[in-house]
């Protein structure tokens, strides 16, 4: 689960102090990843305004299963807003799918980093590599849920012939 928050420090203190989560990694002052078990994270928060639930993630077995899921979603008019790629933070494969009617993004992921019992939180620089070691940063519309952002994405895909007019 990933949220946008105007105060990630305060929000993360609640999860750590009151709910028993542990900090996995920091992305400068802009992001905090939290874990409960060996998975790199079960919750992430990014310093962005306005505060908003951003996405939840579904784990897939591997990149082959991700390909099958993305093919299926494309046949049903869904689009990848960012990816496929590989995060530097968490080292997971990813693809983010826009669900415009619910102001939501769903992440499909596989191959997430598994933490050792003695894991200590790391500080990542906020660089393109920390977000995607294979390529580009997310598009400007990635953190937006307004109608203009959705129309920009639809228009780009229609121009490429990937969505019907």
pTM: 0.92
Return the CA Rg of the chain: 16
Digitized pLDDT (tens) for each residue of the chain, 165 residues in all: 999 999 999 999 999 999 999 999 999 989 999 999 999 999 999 999 999 999 999 999 999 999 999 999 999 889 999 999 999 999 999 999 999 888 889 999 999 999 999 999 999 998 888 999 998 899 999 999 899 999 998 888 788 777 766
Q: Given CA atoms 9, 14, 15, 21 in this order, what sign does their dihedral have?
A: positive
Per-residue buried b or exposed e for 41-72, using 16+ beta carbons within 10 Å of the residue's own CB = bebbbbbbeeeeebbebeebeeeeebeebbee
Domain ranges for the chain:
2-159
Class of domain 2-159: alpha beta
Token pair for 158? 């229609």
Whole-angstrom CA distances from 119 to 5, 16, 25, 39 are 25, 15, 10, 11
């Amino acid at each position: 689960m990933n949220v946008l928050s105007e105060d990630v420090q305060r929000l993360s203190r609640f999860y750590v102090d009151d709910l028993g989560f542990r900090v996995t990694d920091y992305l400068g002052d802009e992001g905090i990843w939290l874990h409960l078990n060996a998975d790199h994270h079960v919750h992430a928060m990014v310093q962005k305004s306005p505060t908003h639930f951003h996405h939840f993630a579904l784990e897939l077995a591997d990149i082959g299963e991700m390909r099958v899921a993305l093919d299926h979603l494309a046949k049903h008019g869904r689009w990848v807003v960012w990816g496929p790629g590989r995060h530097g933070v968490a080292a997971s494969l990813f693809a983010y799918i826009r669900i415009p009617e619910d102001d939501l993004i769903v992440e499909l992921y596989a191959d997430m980093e598994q933490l050792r019992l003695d894991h200590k939180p790391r500080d990542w620089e906020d660089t393109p590599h920390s977000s995607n070691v294979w390529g580009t940063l997310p598009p400007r519309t990635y953190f937006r849920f307004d109608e203009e952002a959705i129309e920009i994405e639809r228009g780009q895909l229609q121009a490429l012939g990937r969505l019907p007019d």
